[in-house]
């Protein structure tokens, strides 16, 4: 069952990303010159999706611009009120042809081989792309039977004797399932439970890298993980001679002054660090300037204030 349509879920509130998401919506956060949503969008395009719909809620213009910049023409489904995962897909049906839909989440970074997912399922099933579970106490789990049917959906921290898998956010939803989705608002777990009861919810194991980006601290961790031991500066950034930049990302329009030290930090959306400042494990976002002989560590610095970086 190969999809010809894709749905990029980008309509969340980003509450765990606050207060950073009040400045930049999570899907549009800069990750080495690309918006966060670019990884999921690239995987939808790479899977052969001829038509991609992105749903929008908070900061809709910023998210839509990020999506267009990342992956060409898309169609937008505007949600004045949040409709939930299943409700968002249901509301977008007029924009999608009557075929299977490959669904991805815009708020994670991933580089997965989705080939096992693309060859699975049929019109009456939904198939989840899964990874071996790294931490069942942190995220909910999926348990499969020997034939690949989902046996249980286990809340985070709950016990279960079966082998646990992590849902990556990618799923292949058959045409008949899309056609019979409940009217919005509706959450995807309710649809999954109905499919599970009749043996139509399946899972396949995929391989590759996957990172949740739920909080400002996790955003910084993702960027520094991608950097490895290097640093990165956008061609439209200014890094003065004498600046000490280590394992940090300096985005477009950002500036680092002479004799400033920036270590394991992210500057984005026009942030600036003046001469002599020291930053360690920080995120600076928006039109904000750190001036004077100041030192910050593990801090989120925004135009509206400074916050501990968790």
How much is the pLDDT for 227?
98
pTM listed for this prediction:
0.95
How much is the pLDDT for 1?
67
Delimiting residues of CATH 2.160.10 domain(s) in the chain:
216-308
**CA 261 – CA 71 distance, rounded (Å):** 35
Taking the domain 216-308, which CATH number applies? 2.160.10
Token pair in block for residue 9: 């879920």
Delimiting residues of CATH 3.90.550.10 domain(s) in the chain:
5-212
For residue 77, what are the CA distances in angstroms to 44, 82, 203, 241, 247?
Answer: 17, 11, 27, 46, 38
Which of 242, 128, 129, 241 is closest to 189 using CA atoms? Answer: 128
For 84, phi then psi, to 5°, come to 80, 165
How much is the pLDDT for 97?
81
For residue 45, what is the DSSP state? Answer: H
The one-digit pLDDT tens for each residue of the chain (310 residues) are 666 799 999 998 899 999 999 999 999 999 999 999 999 999 999 999 989 999 999 999 999 999 988 877 799 999 999 999 999 999 999 999 888 999 999 999 999 999 999 989 899 999 999 999 999 999 999 999 999 999 999 999 998 988 999 999 999 999 999 999 999 999 999 999 999 999 999 999 999 999 999 999 999 999 999 999 999 999 999 999 999 999 999 999 999 999 999 999 999 999 999 999 999 999 999 999 999 889 999 999 999 999 999 8
Question: Is residue 308 a contact partner of residue 298, using CB atoms and an 8 Å limit?
Answer: yes
CATH superfamily, with its number, for domain 5-212: Spore Coat Polysaccharide Biosynthesis Protein SpsA; Chain A (3.90.550.10)
């Amino acid at each position: 069952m190969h999809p010809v349509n894709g749905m990029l879920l980008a309509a969340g509130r980003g509450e765990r990303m606050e207060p950073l998401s009040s400045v930049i919506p999570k899907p549009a956060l800069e990750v080495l010159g690309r918006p966060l949503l670019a990884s999921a969008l690239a995987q939808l395009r790479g899977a052969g999706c001829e038509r991609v719909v992105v749903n929008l809620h908070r900061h809709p213009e910023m998210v839509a611009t990020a999506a267009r910049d990342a992956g060409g023409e898309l169609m937008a489904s505007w949600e004045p009120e949040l409709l939930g995962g299943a409700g968002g897909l249901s509301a977008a049906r007029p924009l999608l042809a009557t075929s299977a839909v490959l669904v991805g989440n815009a708020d994670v970074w991933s580089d997965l081989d989705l080939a096992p997912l693309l060859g699975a399922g049929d019109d009456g099933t939904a198939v989840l792309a899964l990874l071996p579970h790294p931490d069942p106490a942190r995220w909910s789990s999926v348990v499969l039977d020997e034939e690949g049917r989902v046996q249980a959906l286990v809340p985070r921290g709950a016990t279960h004797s079966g082998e646990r898998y992590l849902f990556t956010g990618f799923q292949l939803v058959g045409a008949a399932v899309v056609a019979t989705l409940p009217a919005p608002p509706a959450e995807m777990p309710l649809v999954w439970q109905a499919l599970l009861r009749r043996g139509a919810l399946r899972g396949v194991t995929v391989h590759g890298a996957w990172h949740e980006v739920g909080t400002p601290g996790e955003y910084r961790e993702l960027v520094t993980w991608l950097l490895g031991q290097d640093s990165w500066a956008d061609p439209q950034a200014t890094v003065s001679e004498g600046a000490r930049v280590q394992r940090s990302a300096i985005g477009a329009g950002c500036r680092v002054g002479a004799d400033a030290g920036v270590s394991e930090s992210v500057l984005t959306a026009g942030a600036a660090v003046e001469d002599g400042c020291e930053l360690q494990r920080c995120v600076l976002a928006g039109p904000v300037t750190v001036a004077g002989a100041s030192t910050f560590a593990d801090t989120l610095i925004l135009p509206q204030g400074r916050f501990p970086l968790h």
